[in-house]
Amino acid sequence: MRLICQMAYRLALALGVVLLVCMTAVVCLNIVSRYCFGYSFSWSEEAARYMMVWMTLIGAAMAIRKWSHFRLEFVEHKVSGRTRLVLRSIALFVALAIGLLLVWQGLVWLPLTNHQLATALQLPMSWFYAALPVAGTLIVLFSFEGLLDGLGHQTHRCSLEPPSCSPSSN
């Protein structure tokens, strides 16, 4: 499980970096084209928007593995280790449910959007809606990994104490 999660995380990170670079390049190209040549690419804003959607959903999944989503950290410091484990497990079960919902709804929407084309890019909208099941699968995988960690099945992740967690520990 650990190896699968590490590989999935690295793949998600690589995809996120590629999307960020491409989105930045597209936006910069359009800015230069608009202000230097008085011409704007019709597809650039749409492409940047869809890359941002993919990047955001993948980033949300990655944040679950790193335990870096918004949380009330001051509450974590005020409760006992057992209560902290229960709160963390509840959060991971909620994330797991959201991931399953994303997978389910993404798979529902893919066939419905396969014949629709994006306005400017003229690509099937299913390419963009595929971000839902992909991110949902990653969220389910990383949530399940976190739940196993909480149950003591794996000890490779950060401890429940936020200060002891370092980026190199994963």
| Residue-wise pLDDT tens digits, 65-88 | 998 887 767 777 788 888 888 888
- Tell me the pLDDT of the chain averaged across its residues: 87
Token pair in block for residue 6: 């590490």
User: What pLDDT is recorded for position 152?
Assistant: 60
Long-range CB pairs of 36-39 (<8 Å, 24+ gap) are none
pLDDT (average), residues 127-144? 96
pLDDT given at position 169: 46
> How buried is residue 54: exposed, middle or buried, by Cβ count under 10 Å (0-12/13-18/19+)?
buried
What predicted TM-score, i.e. pTM, was given to this entire model?
Answer: 0.83
AA identity, residue 88: R
